[in-house]
Structure 1
């Protein structure tokens, strides 16, 4: 109540005299506590509609905010303005400007990127520049009533789909080709059904491009629209945490199932056949090879061969959709990649028609026929909102391409995606808690490599404090104050738990399992496995891919936490040299407070 009263007081002091001096200002509109639809808890304090632009004002009562708090406040109001610019239907052609006002810091006026930071006595002079009657004023009531369509998380999108709600028409999803990809799969399924054929469709995409959403929409479309009420499609994943999270969110275990359980029941020449004729296999490039299946299920048939044999047994027709992530093989037995599918086609008893992007069709010499279709290649990251270059930056970072990484981080930050560096975990926690205070639907949490044994020294144990697959649902879905929620910042999610899922602002905890040597990245030589255990073909590639997964989970941004350990000094220096902004340390914050007190 006090904060609201202070913002009201500051606005009256600024606007009363300004309205008398320039009557044109009386045509402006003030919206207090403008709630962003579908985003519970996200409310800019004030949206001020002038004659030709939108001002987003966020008021803070802090008389002496720490540098971390101020950074979080600045990023908060910048994100409000960015989201209104891109997701509010009536704002696409207007300038949307963020303003941060500290009610108890008179004399303050500075620019922090695109954000203007003001004290209460400077607001009037700042607003004066926006008073003009020379151009026609846009329709304020139409703006207030316009649709706001935020980019849904994977979980919220799945929940809407299976509650038979239409997904919002998101410009970014449309430009990324999601609709065309789903339409291409529907056409291929219809052809397979009508002609009694066997079809394999492969959808490729960078992390966060919406492959899983495509699979879920396709299953939904076949079940609700195409199948006339019959269930003829199922979404399968070898990613146990993803299955757990989606089943937890949907309160349904029929449409989303674990691929290994599915093949245990129907694979390996078993007599039972599934009800569904269409199987969507998420992360199909990670399908187990024959040796891994032998170790885990007792028969030497690779998962690609198991699926195609099952398809050959189906009455009439079958279709398999493989969703292919790039550079995300992180388990032993997944390193065969797409080659395993070509081998399965060679050994199949039935002819298979392949639908795939042109860039991978040359890998499938044993398909009976090939239909190239570039609508099946998703190249734009949806997860990270506007950071289309995030995946390219992560690739450059992990390839040691420092010049390219520096160039790309500048572009990413300009697009509204924040990446911070710190050696102080408590500072990282303070930032995310401050930034998302009161935002019920926002999720932030700790991510770390499963091999980061050094984190035990800073109180984080990837094994004892790690989220198990069966607990992933509550960790990702439960509200921030729930003890099981990721927002409690007490339990780590490894690459195995977070793959295919997302957080708004993860804290990625760096381990000594991937260190910068001054020339390149190095990972430890794995210990000799116990008798009967398998040695990875390329353990370093699995480590690099693990960090590729961890670094591509964020939607708004991420913090890279590199513990203050001698073994990671070179890694920290390398990340510093890539021009990543650093969160201030506690000693710097203490010095600021001493100077203010003095």
Structure 2
């Protein structure tokens, strides 16, 4: 259900004075007045009264788009059409950012507002003082009843509405009340969710509340109850939360963190991640938003001031570790949430790092063991939440979840352990460690600690299963792909230029797109992609279309290390000769000197396949996979290195671009 500050039938709206209408908007919105706002509303009302005389329908002012945290100036429903009107009062040009804004409003409704799925939506930008614009009704190439944004000035709006209603009329009219009261089930990006959580301490208004999404709330509530149990009974408890890629594990962690920030209750928490790009990007996005919020409130703060405040909310795990290497006291927080816990270092990697980088000899802990020991310093109670992605260890020394379980068994058997039933699944590689812990520790299994439905792609929940079956070379992959068809486009090509054009055509409004590739994909240089180039992940993810450093420019590829835990709307996956299909299974290679070399270590084979798992599950709306043709005259890019993979993807039914 969406909301608004004023609604009326067109006929009643025309009869009312501007003062009455503005009064209703102010009262319902609990708004103060500033002169520019008043003048804008007055001019907007004047234009609409002149334009709408003779029409029947309904209008809604300041119509809420919760996921974006914004409001549409006016939603107008006439016959079978929903017009999304965005006014730029006194503006003399149709600016791209303003067109993008009204398009984003329409896209949000089309994607997440149930009655809008089938309704005909037409976004219109009204730059009141601009020159007349050509009138061309163009359906977007998604064929989903969303027209590309139209442009009008104050004088031309009437003519535009008349032309649209004549051209696109149908016998079925929209019931305005049913439309605005329809369910709204958005799926925010992790950046949108983090900003809303930080500002409002909840994401209820911007997240799905349908049956598939209830698991998020059940898991969050279970963890909160466990924390209360630990506190009230002076217990030490560790929880392991599992979930398919994109299921919302990080969101659950952030929700728990924000719900336990009350210093007076003594249950403060800290959200920790070993994923530096994710932390950097979230901190930067939060800092930018904090500056905007303070500016809107008449305050001025610097970026560094904003960052300092935000670092208390989300931290890089290594900074936390280093702080409690120095400080031997118990941490300030009683609750620690570890995102992507499977990426914590094993003992060998940790000991080696401590000696080389910190000058600490005889360090005897794995990273999980040391982190648990920090919380164990509390004399009364503590709680740890480990968020675990299956099959997502992607770097040398990442011990998987086994390191945590062994640390509990060997050093902290007095901690109660609550485990997702799914942690014993094959991709977590923890069956033996769980069995050994059960013999020695206090272990409770609970189904509420697993997130089964991918929320990343709001178009389909089947994507994570499809990618798992694709990489497992499971015969059922063809049937799963059929369930994706017409919902989540996946296409295959050998031409990177075709792939770039496809993404640009698919993306609408401010939808973000970009190229991703494995960090081992060293022979993409002929395609002008060098994965060894050190991209700035903050700029790549956050900057706009006019910034050459952004993903939009399609000049730099993000690797699994840049993109894990994050998402784009549309993704181009470049598939190099490091991972090659064969009838016996995947063949894995690394590039050294001037040739490909077979990877023999099982862990390194796993890391490479997991890298592709990460890359193939980053797109919210669709993706194109590029498998190059290779080059007969280049021994490092022989066509046979690529053909088997291309044919495998083609044969399972992926459409050729």
TM class by shorter-chain length? 0.7 to 0.9
**Contact residue 514 and residue 522 of structure 1 kept, 8 A:** yes
Residue in structure 1 matched with residue 648 of structure 2 by the alignment: 574
Per the alignment, do residues 554 and 352 of structure 1 end up closer, same or farther by CA in structure 2, a change over 3 Å counting? same
Instruction: State which of 439, 451, 454 in structure 1 corresponds to 2:520.
Output: 451
Aligned partner of residue 185 in structure 1, secondary structure: helix
* Corresponding position: 1:220 with 2:285: no
- Checking the alignment, whether the CA contact within 8 Å between 1:332 and 1:536 is kept in structure 2 is no
Any idea what the Cα deviations from partners look like across 1:69-121, whole Å, max 9, x if unmatched?
xxxxxxxx9x968x6466226x18x8446899x98799x9xx99877999xxx
Alignment match of 1:325 (pick from 382, 386, 389): 389
Distance 1:302 1:173 in 2: 40
- Indicate conservation of the 8 Å contact 1:204/1:324, yes or no: yes
How far 1:39 moved relative to its partner?
A: 4.7
How far residue 411 of structure 1 moved from its aligned partner, in angstroms, is: 0.8
Change (3 A) 1:56 1:241: same
Q: How does 1:56-135 map to 2 (within 5 A)?
A: 84=109, 87-88=112-113, 91=115, 95-96=118-119, 130-131=170-171
CA deviation profile, 1:288-346 (whole Å, cap 9, x unmatched): 11101011123231122112222322231111110010110111122x42222221112
Distance 1:41 1:463 in 2: 39
Alpha-carbon distance in 1 for matches of 2:395, 2:450? 24
Output the CA distance in 1 between the equivalents of 2:83 and 2:586.
43
Matched residue, 2:222: 184
2-side partners of 1:476 and 1:510: how far apart?
Answer: 21
Task: Report the aligned-residue RMSD.
Answer: 4.1
2:529 maps to which of 460, 467, 480: 460
Q: State the distance in 1 between where 2:238 and 2:551 align.
A: 37
- Checking the alignment, whether the CA contact within 8 Å between 1:209 and 1:379 is kept in structure 2 is yes
2:235 to 168, 190, 197: 197
How far did residue 138 of structure 1 move?
A: 5.5
Gaps of 5+ in 1: 1-24, 58-76, 529-533, 584-598
Range that drifts further, 386-395 or 206-215? 386-395
Residue in structure 1 matched with residue 507 of structure 2 by the alignment: 436
Give the equivalent residue in structure 1 for 2:446.
373
Deviations 1:537-578 (A, max 9, x none): 432221111100000011111111222312312222222222
Is 1:250 matched up with 2:286? Answer: yes
**Residue in structure 2 matched with residue 71 of structure 1 by the alignment:** none
TM-score (ref. length: structure 1): 0.74
Tell me what 1:17 maps to: none
1:522 aligned residue: 587
What is the CA–CA distance in structure 1 between the aligned matches of 2:210 and 2:274, rounded to whole Å? 28
Give the match for residue 366 of structure 2: 302
Output the CA distance in 1 between the equivalents of 2:413 and 2:142.
63
Counterpart in the other structure of 1:409: 481
Q: How does 1:16-31 map to 2 (within 5 A)?
A: none
2:490 is aligned to 419
Residue number among 307, 321, 324 corresponding to 1:266 in the alignment: 324
Question: What whole-Å deviation, never above 9, does each CA across 1:258-311 have from its counterpart, x for those lacking one?
Answer: 1122222215x9624321111111111222111010111232311221122223
Asked if the contact 2:119/2:145 (under 8 Å) is kept, the reply is: no
- Looking at structure 1, the residues matched to 146 and 315 of structure 2 have their Cα atoms a distance apart, in angstroms, of 49
- Per the alignment, residue 6 of structure 1 pairs with none
* Structure 1 pair 475–42 and aligned structure 2 pair: CA distance change class (3 A): farther
For residues 428-478 of structure 1, give each alpha carbon's deviation from its aligned partner in whole angstroms, at most 9, with x where no partner exists.
Answer: 2223333335x23x22111110000111121110012x42xxx32232122
Which residue in the other structure is 2:275 paired with? 239
Q: What CA distance in whole angstroms lies between the structure 2 residues aligned with 1:377 and 1:568?
A: 37
Q: How far, CA to CA, are the matches of 1:112 and 1:307 in structure 2?
A: 48
SS in 2 for 1:359: helix
Aligned in 2, Cα 1:49/1:518: closer, same or farther, shift over 3 Å?
farther
Judged with a 3 Å threshold, the aligned counterparts in structure 2 of structure 1 residues 355 and 37 are, in CA distance, closer, same or farther, namely closer
- Looking at structure 2, the residues matched to 150 and 257 of structure 1 have their Cα atoms a distance apart, in angstroms, of 27
Structure 2 CA distance for aligned equivalents of residues 322 and 355 of structure 1: 10
Unaligned runs of 5+ residues in structure 2 are: 1-53, 85-102, 124-133, 149-162, 288-309, 356-362, 425-433, 594-598, 631-638
My pick for the range that moved more, 211-220 or 244-253, is 244-253
TM-score, structure 2 length as denominator? 0.68
CA separation of 1:125 and 1:568: change in aligned 2, threshold 3 A: farther
Counterpart Cα distance in 2 of 1:582 and 1:117:
27
CA contact (8 A) 2:496 2:626 kept: yes
Which residue number corresponds to residue 282 of structure 1? Answer: 339
Distance 1:293 1:144, change over 3 A: same
Aligned length: 510
1:156 aligns with 2:225: no
